[in-house]
Amino acid sequence: MSWNRKHLLDIESLSPGEIVTVLDTAKAFKAVGERAIKKVPALRGKTVVNLFIEPSTRTRISFELAAMRLTADVINFSAEASSLKKGETLKDTARNLEAMNADVIIIRHSAAGAPHFLARFLGASVVNAGDGAHEHPTQALLDTFTIREKKGRIEGLKVTILGDILYSRVARSNIWALTKLGARVTLCGPPTLVPQVFKELGCEVTWDVNEAIRDADVINLLRIQHERQRRTTFPSLGEYTSLFGLNRARMAQAKDDVMIMHPGPINRGVEIDSEIADCGRSVILEQVTNGLAVRMAVLFLINGGKGPQEVGN
């Protein structure tokens, strides 16, 4: 199916066909990244702005590198050194960036809906790089890409997402992407962080970690998002780790070919033991590698690319 969107704001509004188009385009760009010359001219003359108002390592650098590989000019906006500190609004900041001919604005913001807000008045394309606890679409796309690459399919797989679901934009975007492509998604964590209401999104909910791990083809771990929690949701980190942390004993109950994922940043010794994060079943760094191809695909498609057939040979 051919892509026709100017923005990437969320996964919820994408069709399964559109998700597959991004994945297939990313596969073509991954092949480009394995060549001696990794750059293509798809975005030559375009300006991409990384407007990150929240911290990031993987997403910001990955978008920067993706834009460079597509031969775009890239501006990295630093909120701490900007006129936001002098009281300028997000709207005025974005309009000033557009006045300097920005073609794409990639935004990360603590407020859910910030990218949708910008897309209402900007002529530039807008990409959501994480908005509050709402969505993180490129993370879900790279997670889905990694699962499909490793397991050969999405449909019918049991994917367990274990951790702080309530405050996680990664969880929400993954739930949309995986259920649209036919996976069985199980959510697990403390009841305060995994309310039953998530069943309405087509997931199973369990507070029993053994049940969640058993039969899982994929376990995607999430850290506790302290920066978004407004109240205490469990007694202590130590208790969380003993009840829900992924360690050797729990891994022993999982399938032999279970795949371990984590969007990062990892809190070693809390949601995941170091020996599990670094074991042969972990694809955590491969997720990061795939993020580059997925973000190249997203930038290519929102700039008028139609699909993988247009990725140059």
We find the least distance from the C-beta atom of residue 101 to ligand CP, in angstroms, to be 26
- Residues 105, 108, 110, 113: is their CA dihedral positive or negative? positive
We find the least distance from the C-beta atom of residue 239 to ligand CP, in angstroms, to be 25
DSSP 36-65: SS----TTTT-EEEEEESS--SHHHHHHHH
In which residue are the tokens 């809906």 written? 113
| Closer residue to ligand CP, CB minimum distance, 136 or 180 | 136
Q: Which token pair is 296?
A: 């190249």
| Closer residue to ligand CP, CB minimum distance, 28 or 53 | 53
| Closer residue to ligand CP, CB minimum distance, 42 or 171 | 171
We find the least distance from the C-beta atom of residue 56 to ligand CP, in angstroms, to be 3
We find the least distance from the C-beta atom of residue 53 to ligand CP, in angstroms, to be 12
Distance CA 91, CA 132 (A): 17
Closest CA to 99 of 123, 135, 63: 123
We find the least distance from the C-beta atom of residue 133 to ligand CP, in angstroms, to be 13
Q: Which amino acid is at 125?
A: S
| Closer residue to ligand CP, CB minimum distance, 137 or 245 | 137
Binding site for ligand CP (CB under 6 A): 56-59, 130, 136, 139, 263-265
| Closer residue to ligand CP, CB minimum distance, 237 or 266 | 266
Q: Which token pair is 248?
A: 């050797």
